[in-house]
Amino acid sequence: MQDRDGFIWLDGQWLPWRDAKVHVLTHTLHYGYGCFEGLRAYETADGPAIFRLDEHLRRLEDSAHILAIDLPFDRATLAAACREAVSSNGLSAAYIRPLVFLGAEKLGVDPAGAATHVMVAAWSWGAYLGGKALDEGIRVRVSSYARHHPNVQMCRAKAISTYANSILAVREARRDGYDEALLLDTDGYVAEGSSENIFVVRDGELLQPETTSALDGITRRTVCALAADLGLAVRSKRITRDELYCADEIFLSGTAAEITPVVEVDRRRIGSGRPGALTRRLQQAFFACVRGELPERRGWLTAV
């Protein structure tokens, strides 16, 4: 990732890609204290546009607030940096990563005295779970690692440290031949994927887990809104592991994963073993939305 042409925004300045560096004694590198966002810009008939930019930046602000990190830049400045990260790198579609981290002014668990830094980068990134995942679906494994309890890791923050849990889960799953991991909460109920929310279809009803220990995903919110546009209600409930096995359809949602069908869980086929009809309808609505083809949802797109 470090050896590329292009530009990265760091603390209000645009740097050549290869010059955007931090010191090895950076506080966040040692303790994982910081937060980030993931956004996508999509190619539309009017040029590249960022999907739900304001909502993502509000969540970044919320994450920093939860972690008691003072952001040195306002939302308008960060929005401009996200737009310019796409344009200055000549991208028609992009993944965008804002990152808030603490500097190398001091070490020690208490970060008081370490300066807050903010970075924005953008690059081309295709299907997160592989080229065939969106069309053919993926195989997932219920992880042996539980998702955090809300009083262990505050789950509304998209915190860097949370992802050590995700890394353990996804490495375990891929070591065992699966594409992705699903994590249960500490009470044994379905929480989310390693970096995605999860939806279940049973007897025509669209279900999602309560988000107590899962991230309040912006793509998750999008799915709920698009489902309502299609006349479908989404019900939140506690979902058990065996309910997954008996589901008619399952799919994951996330900025990187978009809407990815799940066709197998723990070597149990889901439904017909192919992406289901409702998953396909929501997938089609989602991609029409991000390409600017749904007039009623164009307000979610910010032109670059």
> pLDDT of the chain along its 304 residues, tens only?
999 999 999 999 999 999 999 999 999 999 999 999 999 999 999 999 999 999 999 999 999 999 999 999 999 999 999 999 999 999 999 999 999 999 999 999 999 999 999 999 999 998 888 879 999 999 999 999 999 998 898 889 999 999 999 999 999 999 999 999 999 999 999 999 999 999 999 999 999 998 888 999 999 999 999 999 999 999 999 999 999 999 999 999 999 999 999 999 999 999 999 999 999 999 999 999 999 999 999 999 999 9
Catalytic, out of 21, 106, 132, 158: 158
Q: For this structure, is 106 an active site residue?
A: no
pTM of the model: 0.96
For the residues of 206-236, what is the DSSP string, one character each? Answer: EEEE--SSS---HHHHHHHHHHHHTT--EEE
Two tokens at 170? 């996804």
Two tokens at 151? 């009083």
- The answer to whether residues 93 and 40 touch, using CB atoms and an 8 Å cutoff, is yes
Beta bridge partners of 202: 205
